[in-house]
Amino acid sequence: MALLPILTLPDPILRDVAARVERVDGEVRRLADDMLATMYDAPGIGLAAPQVGISRRLIVLDVSDDDGAARPLVMINPEILHLGDGRRSYEEGCLSIPDVKVEIERPSTLTVAYLDRDGVRQQLDADGLLATAIQHEIDHLDGRLIIDFLSRLKRDIIVRRFRKSART
């Protein structure tokens, strides 16, 4: 497994809508494995393919607690089928926007359909942190970032700061 470079703001790939994965093959499985290694190394709890420069609808997650047992989840072409009525606020960070945290209110439960790493269609009911992480990573597939939940003024300040540091 290889560690992949994580793109940061203002890289334009982060704003693209990712293309569907047409076929689950060895190349896609290798990408998922590399993404998991990169996510664990960062460290993070989720990573979307656009964050490593691959504009495809693939996300990896692991929201396991600190009991030492990893529980990686690979979702190819994830689609949210249902969002629950309850809401939950969570302070979210993002590997592509280091050192920025944004309080975001999202539905606290969801049902998602996806292909697993073997190309088998799965459906998952998620709640709590897992539901939040799935929504966050699917946002990446749609070119949406956590700063989009901020006021225009706050968002522009953050974008300016990252553009300035990208030039230096």
> Taking the domains of the chain in order of start, what are their residue ranges?
12-167
How much is the pLDDT for 13? Answer: 97
How far apart CA 87 and CA 24 sit, in angstroms, is: 34
Annotation says 103 is catalytic: no
Q: Could you tell me the two tokens for 160?
A: 């300016």
Closest CA to 73 of 64, 60, 82: 60
In the set 22, 79, 92, 137, the catalytic residue is 137
How much is the pLDDT for 66? Answer: 67
Query: Structure pTM?
Result: 0.94
Fold of the domain built from segment(s) 12-167: Peptide Deformylase (3.90.45)
Q: What's the CA angle centered on 34, arms 31 and 40, to 5 degrees?
A: 140
Q: Which residue has the tokens 């979702």?
A: 75
Mind listing the pLDDT tens digit of every residue in the chain (168 residues)? Answer: 899 999 999 999 999 999 999 999 999 999 999 999 999 999 999 999 999 999 999 999 999 876 668 899 999 999 999 999 999 999 999 999 999 999 999 999 999 999 999 999 999 999 999 999 999 999 999 999 999 999 999 999 999 999 998 887
